[in-house]
Amino acid sequence: MAKLFLVRHGKSTWNDLGLWTGHTDVELTPEGEEEARRAGLALRQEVIHRAHVSPLKRTRQTLSHIQTVLELPELDVQEHPAIMERHYGIHTGKNKWQVKEEIGEEAFQSIRRGWDTPIPEGETLKDVYERVKPYYEEHIKSDLMSSRNVLVVAHGNSLRALVKHLENLSEEEVVGVEIATGEVHCYTLDDNGAVVDKVILPSAQS
């Protein structure tokens, strides 16, 4: 048995402003730093053998705070763009709620949560899935099947894509998946890499 921990980065400066961030390399807010520390505290009873992180600042900063809390400065960390956030194309930098007013609730939710809703110059969630799934299969699953615990610090949509794969969700079911900033999802997997349990670890005050 092994555990896979999924952590969405803490709140970023653009999260705070309600802007679609995508690949824009923004930093954590003070609140986001606190969320990252609380994620570390939620993991304090766990053993972590390796971590995977997106190259964007907000994920690397989140992982750094987790490592500090857990006193794991020498943790083996693999950084890769395959687990970066969805690219929002022409909507990058736009205020989500202003876009919602302009295009209406149904179209907004389709862009925000839909499986294969295209954005000019950007990606769909399906596109994200098609880069996240191979990365998981090639770089993460083998550790889990060898009873090594793995931490993945990434983004709302790259983690939603991974959750779809882990839980074998339908295209309709993944629409309802949402992971809050700083939230820790813990999966237990058997030696064949199949999920046998999932819990959301309770947040703790730092």
Catalytic residues: 9, 85
Q: Positive or negative CA dihedral for 56, 93, 85, 35?
A: positive
Residue 79 gets the label, from left (phi > 0), alpha (psi -120 to 50) or beta, of: beta
Beta strands across the sheet bearing 195-200? 76-79, 50-53, 150-154, 2-8, 184-189, 195-200
Q: Which amino acid is at 139?
A: H
Residues 51 and 82: beta-carbon distance below 8 Å: no
C-alpha to C-alpha distance for 166 and 189, rounded to whole angstroms: 10
